[in-house]
Amino acid sequence: MSLINILRKKFKLDFFTTPSHSQKFFIFSKLKQFYKYDISETDAYKPQEALMVAQKRAAKIYGTKSTYFLTNGSTSGIVASVLACVRTGEKVLLWDESHACHLNAVKLAGAMPVYYKLVKDGNWGIYTQTTAEIIEKKLKCEKIKAVIITSPAYEGIVSDVAKIKEVCKKYGAYLIVDEAHGALYPFCDKLPTSAIYSGGDFVIQSLHKTAGGLNPTALLHCNLDIDVKNALEMITTTSPSYPLLASIEKNINFLNSKKGRGKILELIENIEDLKKNVQYCEFYEGDPTKILVKAPNLNGFELSEFLYTNKIEDEKTNEKSTMLLCGVGTDFKKLKKLERVLKKI
């Protein structure tokens, strides 16, 4: 039985088990439905088995060796990946401006960080791609056990993962791809190819960022026969949140359905229309689900402030441009509001 169906079931038992709210004592009544579905491992539910089956099914959908459901974000997937393939004292290559979890993962593994730098695009105030050349330069000089790259970056800059993989293979290094912002990629041909299919040994995606998932649901995909489970167990609670895990199962089913794939296409079309309709602004070309915008006579911070005074909050701003995060929950109405506000500039 799927996790989703277990949570839908009505049991005629009294559980003298955790959690002690007994699915009917609602201290925070706004979250009543959440309490109702918040169960633990019991003989009657056996959600662990359902989770295993759901993860196996997910691996089939994504075409990976294994896929793990994460309820502590991509952060936990990156930490687990490093713990799975790096030992104390070994070196890990990472971007010096990467998300904090990359360095934290290296520290937790007792490994040594080696950094690479990326070039900044002065026009947009964002970092450019990670290239195979940048990675090879480092791998040539030091014995590196694993390489962590971020692709896509926040703003949708995608690196040539296949080329980077070739280099990693040549020097015997594992490749960990932080694809936190690319969870929609496996489900739409109009989007860049997911690192799952271009050689990432470990690929980590946040479902909560662009794929409509609850905070902080995420996935860890593994394309190797390596013990990731043990690494995950070291950093994961023994009392998992089954409502969150079931939401991941449902989320993947949705993305993989006609409806889900249609929603992604609709999002891309709506964003394309917005970009066409707002002629005074400049939009960064890259991942078509991202909106990175520059307005004439305004720097990024001024644009961000202008949007905020018009009741729109952006995701990330630099001195040159502003990024508005979109995903499967970004509907036509919301984009139309953004369009109206941008047209006021």
Ligand X SMILES: Cc1ncc(COP(=O)(O)O)c(C=O)c1O
Contact residues: ligand X, CB under 6 A: 73-75, 99, 101, 150, 154, 178, 180, 206, 216, 218
How near is the Cβ of 75 to ligand X at its closest, in Å?
A: 3
The answer to whether residues 244 and 71 touch, using CB atoms and an 8 Å cutoff, is: yes
Q: What is the DSSP letter of 196?
A: G
The answer to whether residues 119 and 126 touch, using CB atoms and an 8 Å cutoff, is: no
3-state secondary structure (DSSP) of residue 156: coil
What's the per-residue H, E or C state across 113-138?
Answer: EEEECCCEECCCCEECCCCHHHHHHH
Residue closer to ligand X by CB (options 27, 100) is 100
What letter represents residue 24's amino acid?
K
Cα angle, residue 190 at apex, residues 119 and 307 outer, rounded to 5°: 60
Residue closer to ligand X by CB (options 75, 159) is 75
Q: What is the DSSP letter of 172?
A: T
How near is the Cβ of 24 to ligand X at its closest, in Å?
A: 31
Environment class of 6 (CB within 10 Å of its CB; exposed 0-12, middle 13-18, buried 19+): buried
Reported as type and span, the H/E element at residue 317 is strand 316-317
Residue closer to ligand X by CB (options 208, 275) is 208
Parallel/antiparallel/unpaired status of strands 282-283 and 291-294? antiparallel
Residue closer to ligand X by CB (options 81, 304) is 81
Residue closer to ligand X by CB (options 154, 242) is 154
Rounded to 5 degrees, what are φ and ψ at 291?
-120, 105
Of the candidates 336, 203, 201, the one whose C-alpha atom is nearest the C-alpha of residue 274 is: 336
How near is the Cβ of 149 to ligand X at its closest, in Å?
A: 10
Residue closer to ligand X by CB (options 101, 164) is 101
How near is the Cβ of 175 to ligand X at its closest, in Å?
A: 15
Q: Cα(256)–Cα(253) distance, rounded to whole angstroms?
A: 5
Q: Cα(316)–Cα(151) distance, rounded to whole angstroms?
A: 17
How near is the Cβ of 141 to ligand X at its closest, in Å?
A: 26
Residue closer to ligand X by CB (options 36, 120) is 120
The answer to whether residues 242 and 321 touch, using CB atoms and an 8 Å cutoff, is: no
Q: Cα(60)–Cα(73) distance, rounded to whole angstroms?
A: 22
Q: Name the residue whose CB lies closest to ligand X.
A: 73
How near is the Cβ of 150 to ligand X at its closest, in Å?
A: 5
How near is the Cβ of 296 to ligand X at its closest, in Å?
A: 29
What tokens appear for 327 in the block? 């995903």
What letter represents residue 21's amino acid?
H
How near is the Cβ of 99 to ligand X at its closest, in Å?
A: 4
How near is the Cβ of 102 to ligand X at its closest, in Å?
A: 8
3-state secondary structure (DSSP) of residue 275: helix
Residue closer to ligand X by CB (options 178, 287) is 178
Residue closer to ligand X by CB (options 91, 99) is 99
